[in-house]
Amino acid sequence: MQLCCSRKDEADSRSGLENGDMNDPLAGNDIEKFGFYQIVTFTFLSIPLILSAGFTLSYVFTAGEIKYRCLVPECEHSGNTTFEPPWVNASAPKIDGIISGCTRYTVRDDRPGICTETSFTNVTCDCDSWIYDPEEHTILNEWDFTCDANRWKLTMVGTMQNIGQFAGLMFAGYISDRYGRRTFLTVATSLSAVSGLIHSFSVNYWMFLAFEFLDASMAAGIYSAGFILGLETAGKKNRVFGSTIICCMFAVGEILLGLIASWLRSWRTLLRVIYGPGLLAVFLPLLIPESIRWLLIKNEHKKVEKIYRKMARMNGLPVTDEAINTFKEINVDKEEAKSKLVTSDERKPIVQVLHSSVILIRLLICSFCWLTNTFVYYGLSLNSVAFAGDKYINFVLVAVVEIPAYCLAWVLTDHIGRKPTLSGPVHTGR
């Protein structure tokens, strides 16, 4: 829909209206240019998108592995010792060149309280207390989740995060469709921030696990709602470019997460720094517009007109009354026709999808591609902290690589189309 146009193009605009090219409310020539209005909107929209990366992946560091060793009570006290005393290499057996953190050698009784490398025997015993690397603090050393017997408690955090996302996404779409994308984005980000801050004050593991689920379920639809808002703001011609920016914002969030985690190295402080800014989401309704297509479905034509007038003003384009009237006529008739169509078909949307072979096949193919991509994407992101070297640098580097990859996908999609861009990496990545 061309609500605004330069004066030299007004004749072309009228011609387009007469030829029926303006059926899409975002199909205008000038209105679709990525102008100052779109830049401002994407800037504010990037805030919840960046935060959503931290909400989704913070458990990589809060429940991460850290270095630890056995406490040797005959040689040291937990409150007065160092992580690497002179005799540490002789105190426990080594596994793949690394000192065991679960078993240690017993100490000879000939010189109690004074230990050297010769003070240890070859007899091993299980540890009942541990000394942790003082540079990091996660739930592992918070609640002594050491050795294989407790490893499931760390992995359960990630499992609970994904279960929470699955549960949240089941309701996110419905709430977003009923109350609006901007409304959902505002409420979801704010509630997730509150839950995350409470999460940082967990007094035991079970409270931590419960709020991991709540955080994930509340934040599950933030990215999708922001994605839709961004694409509709960018316009039909700039959808690929807009989606690239949105994807890059999530990668920026990952980079910031890795840098902040490397700086703080405390799981409680990390959660507070990541979730705290989410409270500012209450101001989003003042900064970004509601979804235009959602407003059209709700017959909020005056609000849509107001948004387009603001868009034109910020982009330096005039709005003609003729374009406004044409916009109303086209879209009112269009939405009334849609309403009659929906009323005449009493089947639920999911049933309609199942009865359409074309839509069903596309749904299955896209779901398969998304599932495959999820395994690879999160496999790299989550396992990056287990690679050799500094885990924080590894995590950041994996996120940095995403940005040129998104830009490459943008170029390929514009030049060779969506299908080759989607199917190509699936085949070449095997």
pLDDT tens digits, 258-305: 999 999 999 999 999 999 999 999 999 999 988 888 888 888 878 888
Which segment of 21-30, 71-80, 197-206, 418-427 scores lowest on mean pLDDT? 21-30
Q: Is the pLDDT of residue 207 over 70?
A: yes
More confident residue, 314 or 156: 156
The winner for highest mean pLDDT among 11-15, 117-121, 273-277, 365-369 is: 273-277
User: Which among 240, 246, 317, 227 has a CA at the least distance from the CA of 37?
Assistant: 317
Residue 124: HSE in the Cβ half-sphere, 13 Å Cα cutoff: 13
Is the pLDDT at 254 greater than 90? The verdict is yes
What is the predicted pLDDT for the residue at 78? 79
- pLDDT score at 14: 42
Distance from C-alpha of 382 to C-alpha of 400, rounded to nearest angstrom: 15
> In the chain, where are the structural domains located?
30-65+151-420, 68-135
Amino acid identity for residue 233 in this structure: T
User: 333 falls in which pLDDT band (50, 70, 90)?
Assistant: low
Report whether pLDDT(198) > 70.
yes
Q: What does the pLDDT read at residue 332?
A: 55
Q: Where are the alpha helices (DSSP H) in 319-390?
A: 321-344, 349-354, 357-383
Summarize the confidence of residues 240-250 as an average pLDDT. 92
* Average of per-residue pLDDT across 235-256: 90
Contact 47, 250 (CB under 8 A): no
> Cα–Cα distance between 239 and 413 in angstroms, integer?
11
* Helices marked H in 125-283: 139-142, 147-179, 181-199, 205-219, 222-234, 239-264, 267-275
In CATH, the number for domain 30-65+151-420 is 1.20.1250.20
Tens-digit pLDDT profile for residues 176-192: 888 989 999 999 999 99
Read off the pLDDT band of 29 (50, 70, 90).
Answer: very low
Q: What's the CA gap between 132 and 135, in Å, rounded?
A: 9
Whole-angstrom distance, CA of residue 203 vs CA of residue 278: 23
Cα separations (Å) of 44 from 26, 290, 402, 416? Answer: 21, 13, 22, 32
pLDDT surpassing 70 at residue 154: yes
pLDDT score, position 54: 94
Could you tell me what percent of the chain has a pLDDT over 70? 82
- Region 154-169: mean pLDDT is 93
Give the closest residue to 194 by CA, choosing from 284, 252, 281, 270.
281
pLDDT at 2 over 60: no
Average pLDDT over every residue of 8-16:
43
Q: What is the mean pLDDT of residues 145-159?
A: 92
Does pLDDT of 375 surpass 90? no
pLDDT value at residue 11: 44
pLDDT at residue 53 above 90? yes
Judged on CB neighbours under 10 Å (0-12, 13-18, 19+), 232 is: buried
Residue 171: partners with Cβ closer than 8 Å, 6 or more residues away: 221
Q: Is the pLDDT of residue 355 over 90?
A: no
- Give the pTM: 0.84
